[in-house]
Structure formats: structure tokens, C-alpha cells
Amino acid sequence: MNQRTRIQLDHLFTAATGASILLLLLVLIAVLGPMVYRGSGAVFFSGTVEFRKMQRDLFERADQPALDAEIAETEKVRQAVYEMIDGFKKDMDVEGMSSQVRQIYREFGEELRQKDVPAEQYTKLRELTRGIRDKLEAAFQSQDVNEISRTVDEVLQYADDPRLKDTSAAKLFEIARNFLQAAQRTDLAKHHEYAAGLQEVERILFHSDGLPGLLGPRPNEPLPLLVMLRYGATRWDQAQKLLDRFLWVEQWVQTEPGRPLKMQRTPRADLFPESFRPLFTYVEQNAGGMLNPISTVYWQFFKDDNANSHYFGGIGPEILGTMLITVVGMLFVIPLGVISAAYLVECASDGWVIRIIRMGINTLAGVPSIVFGLFGLAFFVLFLFPLLGFEPRPCILAASMTLAVLTLPVMIRASEEAIRAVPQSYKEGSLALGASRFHTFTAVILPAALPGILTGVILSLSRIAGETAPILFTGAVSLGAVPDSIFDPTRTLSYGSYDMAVGDRLAMMVPHNQYGMVVTLVMLILILNGITIVLRWRVFKKLRGQ
Amino acid sequence: MFVAKTYSMPEKKDNMQITVPHRMSRKSQVQTVVPTNHRWQTDTRAVNDTEEQAIIRSQNFSLHYGSKVGVKNITMDIYPHSVTAIIGPSGCGKSTFLRSINRMNDLIPHVHTEGRLEVVGQNIYDKRTNLVNLRQEVGMVFQRPNPFPKSIFDNAAYGPHLQGIRRKDELQYIVEQSLRAAALWDEVKDDLKKSALALSGGQQQRLCIARALATKPRVLLMDEPCSALDPIATGRIEDLMGQLQSTYTIVIVTHNMQQAARVSERAAFFCLGELIEYDRTSKIFSNPGKKGTEDYVTGRFG
């Protein structure tokens, strides 16, 4: 092979290495990028007036006068929506009208009795109003506009009757006129469809049994029990989704027989009569005015407790729980791991017992984590705790101990390698000065092995902070109080992510919270690792004497 | 005297620092160590070993690694305040013998010994021997400089610290004296906090010597202390040995026969685990009694 080929091959290898590193970086960006982007939505978003209301009610965090002004302003814009809906409802409410008519008829009778009208006239008027009532009732039953118009006209010829003027019976004619107008405006045959459509519209705008609406409950309605139903769309992106659902109806229709169904979007306005359609354009054009979105930095996401299974609020207790479990776990892992490694390197001879111990450590490193979870439940929670007089229930201590057992093999292996890598000459030098083996280990070997041991710490730290299965039964809960001590169970980021992912449809509605939790977990591990790496680097530098 | 509680002095003749308080002893030592830089000459040296009693006595001492022989039937006396060189081809057991003197061979599994090896009148392979006391009495310097990954100060103070000296000024004093004794003080006095690993090879080896001296040993074992050093650093270490021999007993293993001839008063020639010849260095190199020794020192083998 000549010189040039060699040089070219050399370049080729360099290029290949560079390309593979670049590929790795791209993969990392492709994996982390979208996750971080979506997770950042939990903190940076466009918050509506509903968000600020929620913050005030749940976390007592508001500029009260400014918020009051804002609410008043948005309510002013919303007023038109309420009026339009109420008006349409009134038009639709035939039964209400008929009961009103009957009520007026009764009231009129009462009025006549109180006035001491002569018996003859009383009977006549009663008959007349009864006739009007029956005609109107008939009109209410009808669906034909012409017939209704005829009947109403018949009724209205009595409108100028002086006997009925200025009495409660006069209201009957008003109802009759309104009904006629409503009948002309809407298609009476479609009343049932309208009613169903209106219900849907109200659900989307205000709230339904399980889902929050665009605007939240109307001002004078009683507050729903579920916290999440008490507020409209708190985030502008959510609002836009709801607005889309409000404006469009999605239907799966069959275009051809034997072909898959196709989704068809039709404007929801088409379902309603002309008179009601302005509502949709109004809401579309004034959504901003009704919700007043302002870009918000919700840094309290990392501090706040959540409300309504993570529908609102932050992940403060989850972060706290993860940190607690990690710290307590590391308190078990580091001493146990280092001492075990020291024993294996310094004290143990190469007998069959040691070989079995080593094999055990290697096997434990490969056991699925759920097995450790079950072990933790059976051993720590159900066996050890009662034995020591603690209440046998899942708690942070049990979870930390389970995780410690899980990561112990990693820690032992890393520490063993680190201790073994310390030059024998250090040990000899120390022993030759008259140091005992214990002193030699603590004063010379351990400091020299510290960078390697810290590598083990990094590995176990990430594992402990991120594991879910071992704490499933030993200490994690999805909802619950913030722990008072390590004898309480806690929420954690890892278990929270899992729980939200498998939990219920709520998680689908708040993907930002789900991603936020996952990204926070990743960042937390990254930060903890970063601290350890800096520490290791400094120890390493100090050992090297730079 | 290596038994922990029965610390007694079997002989006091050669000793001037053990019985006096620590600081006093250091002072007396400082007076004896004169920082001279001139090359120390073998033939101008006064020899009066006949009057002195041996500090290390080996009587039919054998050491086995399992079934392998390390050294066998070594009988030799090593005298105080002198440099004794052990020479011989590779694998002849000279390092093994040296390491036996402060029981560093204990680190190796399956080692067993026969015969007696006395240091200051006591058999160190006795069951009651306190290794900690023995090793403080018999210091060792290794082939490759092995300072701990700590600061220069901490390295030198390691031994005194072990002996329970905690007072800062006392440690400071001891560190300074040992570094002066190892002719390193002037080079490092301004940055005692610096890591020992930042020193050059020769400085590191002198630091190791200072570290050994700080425990006030009577015997200093040197296992090829210059084999990893360049000639200039070697020269400094050899100078140092010349200065130290008035206070300490030095036993040095070396491959370099010129070095043995330069620094030692007596020389022992080992071959295949056995002591072939032990005599004054001048005799070993000029008029050896055994054929093997002659072949080795004249370069016919080895």
C-alpha cells in the first residue's frame, strides 16, 4: 500500500468517526429536542384570564384589582354569547311557553275572582281565555308554520278586546306573538336536533360532566365540584383546540360502500337556524377578547402542588419526593457499596465463597427491576418493618432501600474497579510507614479511588432517580399529601410520568404537564450528574496535582 | 521492642534519638546533617564497624513463596551507621531479603519463613511482633517513587500523623526537618500545599525518603531507589545517602555495580536465593573471595 492510499484511508477513518459522532448528536437532538420543546410548554405558554383566576383561587397568587378589571372586561365580551344562547333557548322552549300560558290562565281566573266580577261575565271571560289557551296549546303542538300562523292570528283578534286589556291575560298575546316569530325563525320540525345541538354547544362553551369548557361555567351558576370544571381554557393552545371543536363538527362518513370511512368536517353553524348562526362568528372573532391570552412564564410549575390529578398546577411534591428518595437511597448505596468493594478487593481471598458472592452480584445486576420492587414489598415493607416496630406500609425509606439494593451491584462493581486500579505502590508505601491496613485504605486508597467511585455514584444516581418499578409497591403514590418524614409514601417524577401515561384521558388533555414532568426528570438527573461530574473532575485534578 | 506494650530498649549504644523526646531528637539530628553538596568518596570514609554490634542479624533465614524458594539460609549481620549494598543478578532474592527486613512480604499470599531475622535484637518473625512499630523503625524506599496523591506536606507528615502527632506546629517542624534531611526543603518550601505528583521523578524519590525519615526510623531500606531516575537525580540521591548514613543504617539493593561501589561500605552478593559472599565493598570489587562474585562484578555474567 503506498503512502497516498494510506493517507486517504486515514482521512476516511477520520471522516467516518466524525460522521458517527454527528449521527449520535443528531439522534440525541431528535430524541430530546421534541421532548424538551413540548415539556417547556408547561412553563412557557400563553395564559388566559381563566389561568389567572385559577392561580388566584388555588394558589392565592394574583394582582386582585387588575384581575377584577380583566374579568369584568372579558365578561362584558362574553355577555353577548350568554344572551344569544338564552334567546335561542327561549325560542326553543315550547313546553315552557305552554306552561306559562296555563299559568297565566290560572292567574287570570284568580284576578277575576278578586275583582268580584259578576258571575255571568266571569264565566264568559273564563271561556274566552280557555279557548285562547287551548288554541295556543294546539299551536304549540303543531310543526307547520302556516297552521301556527293561522291559529295565532285567530288568537290575536282578541288582543284588542277591552275586557282583556291591562289584565294578566294580555301576556298571552305577547307569548303568542313571540311564538309566531320563533316559529318563523326556526324550523320547528328540527326542534329536537336543535336542542341536542344547543346542549353540545353549551358543553363546549361552559363545561360538561367530565370536560372543562372554553369559557368556564356561567357567572351565576353554582360552581362544579370538580376543580378542573370550574375554569375555562386556561391556556391559549387549549382554547384554540376547544374553539376548533366548537366551530366544526367532525363526522365519519361513508363515501363509497366497502371503503374505509372518511372524516368530514362541517361547520357546526350549519346545524342551527339562521337566527342562531351569528353566535359562531361572534365567538370566533371575539375568542381573544373573551379569554385575553397573555404570554406567561409559569416557573412555579416546579414548586406548586397539582389540582385535579395534574390538570392544573405543578410538580413540586414530585420533585421533592424524587430528591428525597434519591438522597436517602444514596445514603445506603454509597457506604454499603464502597465497604463491600473494599472487602472484595482488600480482604477476601479467592475462595469459592467469594466466587459465589461475585456471581451473585453479577446476577443481581441483571435482575428485572420489578422483581426488586416485589422483593422490597415482601421483605422491607411486610417483613422488616413490623419486625422493627414500624407500620408496615410503603414509604420513602422502603423505596430508598429497595432502590439501594437494586443499584448496589453497579456501585460495588464500579468501586471495586476503582479500588483495584489504585497502584499497589501506594498501598506498599503506606504500609511501609507503619500504617495499619484500615488506615491505609481510608487515608490513601480511598482518596485515590474517589474518581472511580464517583463514576459508580453517577451510575447509581441516575438509576435511583429514574426507576419506577421498584417503588411501585414500596413507596410511590400517584396522588397524596406531601410527605412529612421518610416514613410516609411520596409522589415521584418517574412514577408520576408512568401514572399519567397509563392513568386516564386527563393526561391526553394536558400533554404539557406530562412532558413537563418527564423533561424535569431528565433535567434533574442531568443536573445531579453534572454536579457529580464536576466533583469527580475536581478530585481528579487535585489527585493529579494540576 | 516491636511488641506493642513491652517497648524496651535492648541496647542503647548506637542510639541517640529513640530515648529522647521527639523534638529534642530532631534537633540533635539537624546538627548532624550538614547540607554538603560535594560528592561523597568511598575511600576517605572512616570504618569502625568492628566495635559496633550488628543492628540487623539474619540467621539461617529462608523465605518461600508457596513451594518456590525466595531466599534460603541467609546468615549475615548488618551494621549501624553504614550503607550496606546487596547486589546480584535479577531474581536472586535480593529484593525479597530486603523486604523481609520490614515484613513487606506479608502482603504476598502463601509466604512462609524459617530461621531468625533480628532487628535490634528481636526476632521480627515472632508472633508478638507489632508490625506498626517495626515498620516505623525500619523505613523503606521503593524502586519507583510512590508519593501519595496528596500534598507534599501531607506526604511528609503521613508517618508522624500515624504516630499520633496532631499538633500543627509540631508536624510543621517534623516535615521541615525531614525535607531538609532529604535535601528537598529548598526546592519545595514555598509550595508545600502542591500535589506531590507534580514534582519531578528525582524530587518525588527524595520526598519518599523524607517521608520515610519523618517516622524517625533506625534503618532505611532502599529497593533500587535510583533505577527509575536519570543520572543527575541519581547523583543527588547518592549524595543524600552519604549524608544520611551518619544517622541511619541504610540497606540498598542495586543493579548498578558502580553505584554499589560508590556508596556502600559493605556489599553482599546474592545469587539464586543464596548469599554467596558478604564483605567490605572494596574487597568484593577488588579481590572477591568467590569465583561467582568475581564473574559477576567483572561483568562475565548477570
Q: Give the DSSP letter string of A63-87.
A: -HHHHHHHHHHHHHHHHHHHHHHHH
The answer, for B116 touching chain A at a CB cutoff of 8 Å, is no
Contact between chains at A444 and B109 (C-beta distance less than 8 A): no
Residue type, position A251, single letter = Q
What is the C-alpha separation between A282 and A230, in angstroms, rounded? 23
Predicted pLDDT of residue B46:
36
Q: Which three cell numbers stand for residue A500?
A: 399519567
Q: What is the Cα–Cα distance from A151 to A155, expressed in whole angstroms?
A: 6
Please answer yes or no on whether A432 and B212 come within 8 Å at the CB atom.
yes
Strand order from edge to edge, sheet including B111-119: B68-78, B56-65, B111-119, B122-123
For residue A226, report the phi and psi dihedrals to the nearest 5 degrees. -70, 130
Choose among A460, A369, A373: nearest CA to A381: A373
Amino acid at A498: Y
Q: Pick out chain B residues at pLDDT < 50.
A: 3-51
d(CA B45, CA B42): 6
Q: Are strands B249-253 and B219-223 parallel, antiparallel or unpaired?
A: parallel
Which residues are paired to A263 by β-bridges?
A252
Chain B: residue whose CA lies nearest to A542: B195
- A110 to each of A133, A167, A475, how far by Cα in Å? 16, 11, 72
Instruction: Test B132 with A435 for CB contact under 8 angstroms.
Output: yes
Contact B135, B2 (CB under 8 A): no
**What count of CB pairs under 8 Å joins A to B?**
77
Place of cell 535484637: B121
Query: What residue type is assigned to position A538 of the chain?
Result: R
Q: The C-alpha cell of B277 is what?
A: 559472599
- How many angstroms separate the CA atoms of A324 and B12, rounded? 63
Of all residues in chain A, the one with the smallest CA distance to B103 is A432
**Contact A483/A396 with Cβ under 8 angstroms?**
yes
Q: Which of residues 274-313 of A touch B (CB under 8 A)?
A: none
Nearest CA to CA, how far is A469 from chain B (Å)?
42
Report how far residue B24's alpha carbon sits from residue B44's, in angstroms, rounded to the nearest whole number. Answer: 31
What are φ and ψ of residue A463, in 5° steps? Answer: -65, -45
Partner-chain residue, chosen from A433, A434, A543, that has the shortest CB–CB distance to B149:
A543
Closest CA to A272 of A441, A405, A87, A125: A87
Low-confidence ranges of chain A (pLDDT < 50): none
Cα three-residue angle A55-A59-A62, rounded to 5 degrees: 50
Q: Which residues of B touch A430 (CB under 8 A)?
A: 148, 158
Burial class (CB in 10 A: 0-12, 13-18, 19+), A32: middle
Helix (H, G, I), strand (E, B) or coil at B68: strand
Give backbone dihedrals phi and psi of A152, rounded to 5 degrees, phi first: -65, -40
Q: Do A434 and B134 touch (CB under 8 A)?
A: yes
**Does B197 contact A at CB distance below 8 Å?**
yes
Q: Is A258 on the interface with B (CB under 8 A)?
A: no
Interface touch A433/B159, C-beta < 8 Å: yes
> Is the CB of B231 inside 8 Å of chain A's CB atoms?
no
Distances (CA, A) of B273 to B58, B73, B112, B301: 14, 9, 15, 16
Sequence-ordered alpha helix ranges (H) in A299-436: 316-342, 352-365, 369-376, 385-388, 396-420, 424-432
Q: What does A491-522 look like in DSSP terms, one character per residue?
A: --HHHHHHHHHHS-THHHH-HHHHHHHHHHHH
Place of cell 574487597: B283
* CB contact (8 A) between residue A543 and residue B197: yes
Distance from CA of B239 to the nearest CA of A (A): 23
Q: Tell me the ipTM for this assembly.
A: 0.78
* A189 in Cβ contact with A143 (< 8 Å): yes
Nearest-angstrom CA–CA distance, A294 and B144: 71
Residue type, A502: V
CA distance A419 to chain B (A): 14
Answer CATH for A313-545 from 3.30.110.40, 3.50.50.60, 1.10.1740.10, 1.10.3720.10:
1.10.3720.10
B253 vs chain A: nearest CA distance in angstroms?
A: 16
Question: Distance between CA B114 and CA A504 in Å, rounded?
Answer: 79
What's the confidence (pLDDT) of residue A262? 87
Q: Please name the residue that has the C-alpha cell 278586546.
A: A161
Euclidean distance between CA atoms B74 and A382, whole angstroms: 66
Burial degree of A351 (CB within 10 A; 0-12, 13-18, 19+)? exposed
Contact (CB, 8 A) for A477 and A489: yes
Instruction: Give the model's pLDDT for residue A130.
Output: 85
Residues 23-62 of B with CB under 8 A from A: none
Burial A210-231 (b: 16+ CB within 10 A, else e): ebbbbbbbbeeeeebeebbbbb
CA distances from B40 to B81, B83, B87, B205, B218 (A): 15, 12, 20, 19, 21
What phi and psi, each to the nearest 5 degrees, are found at residue A543?
A: -65, -40
**What is the Cα–Cα distance from B267 to B272, expressed in whole angstroms?**
17
Separation in Å, CA of B233 to nearest CA in chain A: 20
DSSP state of B184: -
Q: Give strand ranges (E) for B51-185.
A: 56-65, 68-78, 83-87, 111-119, 122-123, 138-141
Closest CA to A89 of A78, A97, A99, A77: A97
Instruction: State whether residue B139 sits within 8 Å of chain A by CB.
Output: yes
Q: Are B93 and B71 in contact (CB under 8 A)?
A: yes
Beta-carbon separation of A545 and B146 below 8 A: no
B107: CB partners within 8 A, 6+ apart: A427, A428, A431
* CB-closest option in B132, B150, B197 to A434: B132
Residue corresponding to grid cell 295565532: A152
CA torsion angle B175 B180 B186 B189 (round to 10): 10
For B223, phi and psi rounded to 5 degrees?
-100, 95
Q: Which among B149, B196, B198 is the nearest to A447, CB-wise?
A: B149
Any residues with CB less than 8 A from the CB of B66 and at least 6 apart, and which? B110
At B116 the three-state DSSP class reads strand
* Distances in whole angstroms, Cα of residue B3 to Cα of each of A500, B34, B212: 69, 34, 21
Reduced to 3 states (helix: H, G, I; strand: E, B; else coil), residue A446 is helix
Q: In chain A, which among 448-477 make CB contacts under 8 A with chain B?
A: 448
Beta bridge partners of B71: B63
Task: Collect all residues of chain B within an 8 Å Cβ-Cβ radius of residue A349.
Answer: 109
User: Taking CB atoms and an 8 Å cutoff, what residues of chain B touch A546?
Assistant: 195, 198
B133, B139, B196: residue with CB nearest A432: B139
